[in-house]
Structure 1
Amino acid sequence: MASHPPPPAFLRLAAHPLRWRLLTELALSDQRVRDLVALTAEPQNLVSYHLRLLREAGLLATTRSTFDGRDTYYHLHLDRCAQSLTHAAVTLHPALLAPAALAPPPHPLTAPPTATASHTGTLPTPPPTAGTTHAGALPTPPPTATAGDLPAPPPAATPSHAAARSAATSGHADSRVPMDTSPRPTPHSPTRSHAGPRRSFAGSGDVPRAASPQRTRVLFVCTGNSARSPIAEALLRHRSGGRVEVVSAGSHPRSAGLHPHAVRVLRDQYGIDVAASRPRHWDTFADHRFDYVISLCDRARETCPTFPGEPRRAHWSLPEPTDYPGHLRTAAGIDTRIRHLLPLLEEVQP
C-alpha cells in the first residue's frame, strides 16, 4: 500500500485553534505574551508553549521591549506565511499556483507603478533588507517540514489573566491644523456616531487640501517624531497614492527637527522629500478622529493618549535607528508593514 506524505507543516501548525488565534492576533499587531494571554483568555504557560512552536517553525520573530526590558514582543512574518500557504496549495495541486497573467489586479489602495508621491518623483526600488529580524523583507524560508511532529502541550494551568491596558489621557489640539467638521460614518465602528465630527488635516510638509470624508485616516506615533513615525507617514501616503489621510506625531518631538538620516533615506531610496517637515506633539491631534492609531516604539505604546471615535490600535515594535544603515533597515521594514496594512485600510473604506 502506497504511503502518503503528511499535510504541510504550516497547515498542521495553523490548524490548532489556539495557534490560529495567536496568528490572527499577531497578524494585526505585535504583542507581548501577557497581551496574548489577555486576548485569548488562556493560561500563560499554554500560550508560551504554542508561541514557541510557531517561532521554531520560522513564523515569528521577537524583539526585547525598549520600554521594559523584561518584556518581549512577538512579530508575525506575514510574507513567510504567504510563502507557506502557497507551498501548501501547490502540494495539493499544481494548478492552484496561478500564473502571473491570472494574478488578481492591484489592491485598490495601492498606488499604480507609475504613481508619484504627493510631493516627489517616481518611487525607486527599496534597498535590500536581508538580515532584519523583526520587520524587513524576509529571507528564504526554511523547508516546511521544520515543525515536524509536535510535542504534547504542557498541562493547562489556571493563572489569573492580565487585564486590558487602559490608554493614557489625551492633550489639546494645535491651532495650526486646518479643521473640517464634516462627519463620516464608519461601518466597522457603529459606536462612533456619538464621538463628534471628524477633522481633516494636511500631511507633514504638504500643502493643506480640501477635506475628503471618503479617505481612511491613520496616525503614526513614536517618541521623537523624527524618524520612525515620519518615515511611516511618508511611505503610507506614497504607497496609497494619497488615498489615505495620514499624519504622525510624538510624545516628545525632537527640537532639532527630523533626523537627517531619515530625510536622506526617504529622498535617496524612495524619492520622497520631507526636508521641510517638522516633528509635532501628539496633542496637536487630541480632538481628531482616526480609523487607525499605530505606535512604532514601545515607550509611545505605553503612553499614547486616547483619541475620539475608538480608533483601531496597532503596535509595531521597532527599535530606534541611530546610524544610516539602521535607518535603511527601519525604512525597509516599515515599507513591508505598510504593504500589509493597505488591505486592512480598504476594509475601513465606506
Structure 2
Amino acid sequence: MKLSDFDFHLPEELIATRPAKPRPAARLLLAEGEAIRDLHVADLVDIFRPGDRLVLNNTKVIPARLTGQRQRQSAQGPVVAKVEITLLEPTAAGGWRALAKPLRKLAAGEVIVFSDQLSAEVVQKGETEVELRFNLAGDDFDAALAEAGQMPLPPYIAAKRAPDAQDRDDYQTVFARHSGAVAAPTASLHFDADLLAALRARGVEFTEVTLHVGAGTFLPVKVEDVTTHRMHAEWGEVTEAAAAAINATKAAGGRVIPVGTTALRLIESAGRGGQMQAWRGTTDIFIYPGFRFQIADALMTNFHLPKSTLLMLVSALMGKDRMMRVYDHAIRHGYRFFSYGDASLLIP
C-alpha cells in the first residue's frame, strides 16, 4: 500500500480559511453505499434515525500559540529576542512539551516572558522541541494563557492568515468541556445548540468521549509504504457510562456514528470483541485499508489532506476507490476542504 495511492490534486481556492455561518449552513456530502447526495449539515435532522447515537469528542482547544521574549547577556549587553511557542502536551512532571521557533538559539535555564503574568523557563531542549516550566499552574495558568495565547490554527490556515479573536469561537465546539487539545475535532464545529436540540427531538442520542487532539494530527506521512508509518499518541477517555450507552445502542440495532475521526479512533481503540470498554490512556491507533471496525457504523467528518492518515482512515471505512470517487465529486462540486471546510457523512 503506497503513499502515492492516497494522493489527489486539490485546487488552492477550495481550502477554507473561515467557517460557514451559521455552523449548520455548511454543505454536507452524503455518501451512502454507491450513492452521493449534495446536502447541508442542517439536513442531518432528516438523515439520522431515532435510536442512532452520535459520539462527540468534548475536548477543549487551548490557546496554545504564544509569542514571547527571551533575554540573554552578550558582550554588548542584554539582548532581547522574539520566540514563538506552540504547546504540545503537559508532562508528568508538571511542565509542557512545546515547539519553539527559533529552537536552536534557546538554552536550558533561559526564561521566556509572554506577558506581565506569564513566563516559562526552558527545562531542557531536544532536537525538535523543548520542555517548559511555567511560573503559574491550575486556574491561574489557564487564565494567563487565555489572555496571552492564540488559537493554534492548522498550518494550511495559518499560512494564509493570522489567528484572530473570531477564531476563539470558530475553532471551538459548542460542547467543549475538557481542556487539553491543540487542534479542534473539526467535524464537530458544524453543530450549534439549535441543531443539537433538533436532533434530540428527532430521537437521536448523544454520547461524549474525550480525546485531546495533538499537533501530530497535522504531521505528514514520510514513508512510501504506509503500513510502516507510526502515529502520534494522544490521550483519551471513554467512561463506564459512555461505554454502556454505546453497547446499548448496538444491542438495540441502532447505529453508532462518531462525529470526527478523533472520536472514531478513540472508540475503536476501546473496542474489544465488538463491545465498548471503559478506557483511559494514550492511543496511537493507525486505521488504514484492511482495518476491521468493531464499533463505528458510519462517520461524519470533514475533507482531508492528500496523502494524510485521515484520508487513509476514511478509505478504510468506505474503500479506497470509492473514497477517491467521493473526493473527486467534492472537488468538482466546489466543496470546501479541511478544518473550516464542509462535511461528509460516510455510510458504508
TM-score (norm 1): 0.25
Greater share of strand: 2
Higher relative contact order (CA 8 A, sep 6+): 2
Greater share of helix: 1
